[in-house]
Structure 1
Amino acid sequence: MPAYAPAALLFLVFCVSVLRERRRFSNAVILGLAVLCALGALLYRLARSGSPSVPYVVGALAALAAVALLVLVCFLFLNGVRMLRKEGRSPSNLLSLLAALAILGVVALLATAAVVRTPVLIGLATAAGGLALYFAFLFLCFVCYAFLYGRLRVRRRADFVVVLGSGLIGGSTVPPLLAGRLKRGRAVHARLTGRGGSPVLITSGGQGPDEDLPESHAMADHLIAQGFPAHLIEREDRSTNTEENLRYSRAIMEKAKPGYRCVVVTNNYHAFRAALTARRVGIRGQVVGSPTAAYFWPNAMLREFTAILVDYRQSNAAMCVIIVLGGVAAWYAA
């Protein structure tokens, strides 16, 4: 059992950290490390058991990993093609396709280095493999914890429901994605009202250069047309991105009620990153997500993950430098 002590300790740290503040990316990393330590302890005990089935188990795990990698590449490639057909050829819609090509590139480099075994290829393969493992680990941590975060229950008391905006169709029409956010916002508002509260719903979004009116006004009109009381809507119409959505909405809430609590509504793929941003700007509340079309989700999660890497660019850059230096060391040692 001592082999499982690091995993147990990390899981305890994870639980304490979530209880103190659930909106931290470090929670995702700690959970991932706990799982890695648990798997390492399991493999260690299996190897120490001396069972004749150990080679077969290891072979089966290796084969399963290879098949999973092949399935992942095919899935990302097909999803990338579908994104291009449905959403257009913008750079953000290429992420699934680029991820599939990156995985194939790293696998090809590792296979070539294993066969040719020149110092340069060994160094490049070491660096590329290390970077791939690092980003794959972070991505899995992000996806798993984002899934868990999205299933945390909304606190019983909230004074505001903030719905984050997105682009309008034709400059004035609420698109289906934003309509889904507004529907979830109404559901959260109804639940809080049913518990005896009287929250105000804030529609948050400014006016883009290709829009005829601020997003928040179009969102409010959409809600009112569906029967939502107009006097319970507050419009935040200055923001141009998620951080400004939250900063300007916070100013409205603090002015109306300094000790406020709120629930922020966005799409499910965006909920965890919005929660990280909410913590950074000092929002007192939780973020919940509305459903997103299945084909859109993989590419959107990759986009959110890329944005989080940029948000934590200093620590990620430091880790990348260390990994690349490891590749240089392998080059010299070969």
Structure 2
Amino acid sequence: MRPLVDLVLVAAFLVLFVLTVRAEPRRWLTGVVLAGALWAATTALGASPLVLPWVGSAVLGLLFLGNGLRMLSAAGRNSINAVALVLGLAMLAATALAIGLFPTSTSREAVIAVVVLLLPGYPGLVLVSYVLYCLAYLRRGPRPAPAAVIVLGSGLVDGTVPTLLANRLDASAETWRGERALGHDPLVVASGGQGDDEPMAEGVAMTAYLVAHGVPPEALATEDRSTTTEENLLLSREILRARGLDDTGHLRVVTSNYHVGRAALLTRRLQLDADVTGAPTAWAFLPGAFLREFLAALTLHPRVNLAGLGVWIAGTAFLAYAVLPR
């Protein structure tokens, strides 16, 4: 009977996912619903309901650990890298302890395993939901004929465009050429301000790169004041408004593939009608970059995450009260 109930839950979650994506694909809720379907599917197959939290917490712990080790080797010792290492080790240790205790015969030890998993389990599940949201969004094809293409900047290296940023610019140039071939003429906005260690604004270098790669100057606009992704979008919108393009159709935002999920969340928050597409990223850079994006995305929903953590804690406390012998 239990597997049947779980299968019904899987079907219900998948239907809810389809309805949610159709209503608005730029919502983290799509990943939460998919995580619910995955959770129900694992229990339908006879696995413990703690398998998904275990996997999520282990992956998150490995990301913290790997990022800390990578940054230590590249940038030397500092407090941020040390915190990443400690968090990674703590999450992996807690997960290993929980897995080791849970299969034991006593209910007391099983509950201890659940309680030990409390701290890493919730962020692990949140990571799973965010990964699923990003994958679902990346699989969507963007709408044709955008009014403008906004390419988001990233840091320059010695005043030149590095590979990461070049991939974004190449993707935006390819988008522009594809639209021109279909008879459309979108404006391309190169968006990026000047960092303390940069000799020029990123937007200026990006514009020069696009001109050098065949995009005519009259098809380009430069935004050179932004310092964050949100400012990229807001200041680019100001340029579009000044040119009368802010209400002439949807936008295409081009960034790196690891950045697509958070950028899409921000376009929705800022009420921009936009599709976000991603350019490739080197595999060695991807885990650390995605971890930083995940942590930044968490700050977009502080109340929701606090509420979710409260539910997780309450559920754990109830389980401990119900199962532990008195």
- Shorter-chain TM-score tier: 0.7 to 0.9
Partner of 1:16: 19
Q: Does the 8 A contact of 1:6 with 1:34 survive in 2?
A: yes
Residues 279-299 of structure 1 show CA distances to partners (whole Å, capped at 9, x for unaligned) of: 100111100111111111111
Matched, 1:6 2:6: no
> What secondary structure sits across from 2:168 in the alignment?
helix
> What secondary structure sits across from 1:22 in the alignment?
coil
Partner of 1:298: 287
Residues 200-258 of structure 1 show CA distances to partners (whole Å, capped at 9, x for unaligned) of: 11001122233222211111011112232111110112211001111111222234222
Structure 1, 285-294 or 124-133: larger mean CA deviation: 124-133
Larger RCO of the pair (alpha carbons < 8 Å, separation 6+) = 1
Partner of 1:279: 268
Report sequence identity in percent. 35
Q: Does the 8 A contact of 1:261 with 1:284 survive in 2?
A: yes
The TM-score with structure 2 as length reference comes to 0.82
Residues 143-167 of structure 1 show CA distances to partners (whole Å, capped at 9, x for unaligned) of: 1231232232121111211000112
Supply the AA of the counterpart residue of 1:19.
Answer: R
Provide structure 1 residue ranges, at least 5 long, that are not aligned to the other structure: 44-57
Provide structure 2 residue ranges, at least 5 long, that are not aligned to the other structure: none
Q: Does the 8 A contact of 1:77 with 1:100 survive in 2?
A: yes
CA distance in 2, matches of 1:219, 1:225: 10
> What secondary structure sits across from 1:182 in the alignment?
helix
The TM-score with structure 1 as length reference comes to 0.80
Q: Does the 8 A contact of 1:254 with 1:260 survive in 2?
A: no
Q: Does the 8 A contact of 1:82 with 1:295 survive in 2?
A: no
> What secondary structure sits across from 1:321 in the alignment?
helix
Partner of 1:168: 156
Matched, 1:182 2:169: yes
Shift of 1:39: 2.9
Residues 102-124 of structure 1 show CA distances to partners (whole Å, capped at 9, x for unaligned) of: 33231365479779x9x9x9988
Supply the AA of the counterpart residue of 2:186.
Answer: P
Q: Does the 8 A contact of 1:79 with 1:295 survive in 2?
A: no
Supply the AA of the counterpart residue of 2:209.
Answer: H
In proportion to residue count, which structure has more helix?
A: 1
> What secondary structure sits across from 2:222 in the alignment?
strand
CA distance in 2, matches of 1:10, 1:142: 16
Question: 12, 37, 40: which is aligned to 1:37?
Answer: 40
> What secondary structure sits across from 2:157 in the alignment?
coil
Shift of 1:315: 1.6
Supply the AA of the counterpart residue of 1:291.
Answer: P
Partner of 2:250: 261
- 1:129-168 paired onto structure 2 within 5 Å: 129-168=117-156
Supply the AA of the counterpart residue of 2:169.
Answer: L
CA distance in 2, matches of 1:26, 1:70: 23
Structure 1, 72-81 or 193-202: larger mean CA deviation: 72-81
